Amino acid sequence: MIDFDNARPGPRIDDIGYALWKHLNLGLVDLSADQQARRARVFVDAYGADVDVFGAIELAHEQAPIRFTSHGWKATLEELAAESAWLAAHRTAFERR
């Protein structure tokens, strides 16, 4: 996986959570939470990782303000509150296996 914001290897969980959040557009596309959760599990399984999908995305959301502010990506933070609320509202879909 490529760590686009730091251009260096990072902790695997950070990279997976960030990729799930940004590349699957969670809550921003017209897909149900179950469909989004299935896509996230396919991503994680294909990557060969055994991680808590919800926890990985939640960690990425928690790290976002510091990461994005340090890079001057303040516009990206505007979507964060809505994405975090969507994720929290659909937590059970991501916790199912």
pLDDT per position as a tens digit, 51-61:
999 999 999 99
Q: What angle do CA 42, 38, 27 make, to 5 degrees?
A: 115
The answer to whether the CB of 24 falls within 8 A of the CB of 9 is: no
Task: Identify the H or E element spanning 24.
Answer: none
pLDDT tens digits, one per residue of 69-96: 888 877 777 788 889 999 999 999 998 6
Beta strand spans in the chain (E): none
Q: What is the pTM of this model?
A: 0.82
